[in-house]
Amino acid sequence: MRNILLIGYKKPIQLDDIPDVDIKDSAEYLNFSFDDSIRQVKEKDGTTNPSIYKAIYLFARKKAAINALFAVINASASYVGPYLITDFVNFLTEKESRGVKSGYLLSLGFLCAKMVETIAQRQWIFGARQLGLRLRAALISHIYKKGLHLSSRSRQSHSGGEIMNYMSVDVQRITDFVWYVNVIWMLPIQISLAVFILHTNLGLGSLAALAATLAVMTLNIPLTKIQKRYQTKIMDAKDNRMKATSEILKNMRTLKLQSWDSEFFKRIESLRNVEYGWLLKSLRQAAFSAFIFWGSPTFISVITFWACMFLGIELTAGRVLSAFATFRMLQDPIFSLPDLLNVMAQGKVSVDRIASFLKKEEIQHDECLMGILKEKTILFVTHQVEFLPAADLILIASNYWMAWVCPTTSDAKPIYDMNFILLIYMALSVAGSFCVLLRAMLVLNCGLWTAQTFFTRMLHNVQRAPMSFFDSTPTGRILNRASTDQSVLDMEMANKIGWCAFSIIQILGTIAVMCQAAWQVFIIFIPVTGICIWYQALDKCQLGHLVRAKEEKLDSPGRIAEYDEPSKLLEREDSFFYKLIKEYSSRSHSFNNLASQHVHG
């Protein structure tokens, strides 16, 4: 990575500056590998419509198993710190009797655990992103080939705009699910480790923590069902809008000549309003989920401490700090549950949509020649002489060709009553949870209103554009704005801005608190912040060309099938579509590899 860093320091990095990806990450290899997985499923199940779930499992199982190993190591190492906190606090209060050697051993234990956790986490993150990129390239290639082989009947029910949705929005959501897939099965492991640490420090009080955690997780079932239903409605509404948009753009010249463009654009606005309604319901439900899960650590900790007081278990400073650290470790998987539920629902809907599309009828290349024209006169143009004996009349032509594309110790007395302390803690936490709900509602309403405003203005500008604009602007570029970019504005941009503001406030607060104890920490944050901003320059991937290539090729499947097999567009390394997927993979792999290595250095 040193050469890339040196080049990036001198100038913006271009595709030619990035080395080629490994053969196992190339679009050609991934395309063949996914086809082989589908073939294995067909042979095993004995069906012509294989399960895409099984194909994805066969395609990703080896890499997913390696990622799972790093995830387990990361989870195990992350709980070493909370486990040692009680011993560390006891050492600070009983330093003279324990000796300095115990302190060095505890510090070394914290350091080694954190190093193992960091290395395993970065390898896990890189592996998950790499697997997501591989699955993305394989699915896009497979959907692309399917779009070129669709029969006329199937093409009537799946327009170019809908197929673009499959390759951009749906594939991206499946890729996002790969990122969260380890969280699903790691959650029981994390809960088991947390209960073990709590049982070591709090005894039977850990059972109350386990019961509270299970109660919070029980809420997942209805929330998942509601979110899945909303996502299905959103994708159906988006498909209808994109189908209408694609048809209108293809016939824009006729609509403008007949002055029908205003009526048809009103139709798009009405379809967008339906989509907007489902988006609003989905985001409000997501805000409610965030409120519940942000308040869940408070609920778990209060139940646990009250159970300890009821059972007569002493709450020393070491036990309380260890319990809080353990709750903090549980906080991350619980906080990720709203996103996990959303991603799971979106991924399930997207996989089902793609599976339904892949089952559509394809063009039967021998149906015309061997079926309808079986008893008719056939004109066969070929240069293969082995067909000459079967011909009734032969005409020879030339110059024709084909093209391809708490308290410190148990003896010390607490300053305040523990009931009073718990009430204050609960009041502050509940108030913070309501602030989270208010923040989430404000962010989603402002974000969705902004996205709707952008869409309305874009639609009006396209409607008022002269015909020269449509002649010079590829249809795929306009559809990209209405599909992928609009989806980012609807679902992601507002949340990312909100999280950015929240992270800045959290970082500033952390720096302020840490500087109270050691002001030298402030010096470290300045270069770290600059380095993080500098690294972002490596992640400037542009996908507009890819989307335009999809639209142009899908609009002309007949011409492609006439001059060459559609699969050659993916098999040939000089094909435009192959180069675009290779460029996306190269840049993404380089950035993710750098992101995973800079922590180790």
Residue 293 has pLDDT above 80, yes or no: no
In three-state secondary structure terms, 284 is: helix
CATH number of 19-597: 1.20.1560.10
> Residue 253: what pLDDT?
79
The whole-chain average pLDDT of the chain stands at 74
- pLDDT tops 50 at residue 601: no
pLDDT at residue 534, as a whole number: 67
The residues, any chain, with a CB within 8 Å of residue 63's CB and separated by 6 or more, are 127, 130, 131, 134
Q: Where are the alpha helices (DSSP H) in 359-474?
A: 367, 418-464, 467-472
Over residues 300-316, the mean pLDDT reads 80
Residue appearing with tokens 């941009």? 493
Q: Residue 562's pLDDT is what? A: 42
Question: Residue type for 450, please?
Answer: T
The domains of the chain are located at 19-597
Supply the pLDDT for residue 210: 80
Q: Is the pLDDT of residue 577 over 60?
A: no
Torsion angles phi and psi, residue 194, rounded to 5:
-65, -45
Residue 373 DSSP label: T
- Give residue-wise pLDDT tens across range 355-393: 888 887 776 655 565 666 666 666 666 666 666 666 665
Residue 574: the pLDDT is 52
Lowest mean pLDDT segment, chosen from 260-269, 327-336, 358-367, 537-546: 537-546
- What's the pLDDT score for residue 591? 47
Per-residue model confidence (pLDDT) at position 133: 86
Q: Which of 44-53, 265-274, 307-316, 388-397 has the lowest mean pLDDT?
A: 388-397
Give the model confidence (pLDDT) of 25-50 as tens digits: 887 888 888 888 888 888 888 777 78
The tokens 């159906």 sit on which residue? 236
**Would you put residue 203 in left (φ > 0), alpha (ψ -120 to 50) or beta?**
left
Q: What are the pLDDT digits (tens) for 521-533?
A: 777 777 877 777 6
Residue range 302-308: mean pLDDT, rounded:
82
Instruction: In the chain, count H helices and then E strands.
Output: 25, 0
Give the model's pLDDT for residue 119.
92
Q: Are 569 and 541 in contact (CB under 8 A)?
A: no
How many Cα neighbours within 13 Å face the side chain of 200?
A: 18
Residue 297 or 537, more confident: 297
Question: What tens digit of pLDDT does each residue of 115-138 get?
Answer: 999 999 889 888 888 888 888 888
pLDDT per residue as tens digits for the range 163-193: 777 887 788 888 888 777 777 778 778 878 8
Phi, psi of 575 (to 5 degrees): -75, 145
CB-count burial class (<10 Å; 0-12, 13-18, 19+) for 123: buried
The pLDDT score that the predictor gives to residue 403 is: 30
The pLDDT tens digits of the residues spanning 199-213 come to: 888 888 888 888 887
Q: Is the pLDDT of residue 536 over 70?
A: no
Residue 299 has pLDDT above 70, yes or no: yes
Give the separation between CA 383 and CA 377, rounded to whole angstroms. Answer: 19
Among 221-225, 339-343, 444-448, 570-574, the range scoring the smallest mean pLDDT is 570-574
What average pLDDT score do residues 523-547 get? 61
What is the percent of the chain with per-residue pLDDT over 90, rounded to a whole number? 1
pLDDT on residue 116: 92
pTM comes to 0.58
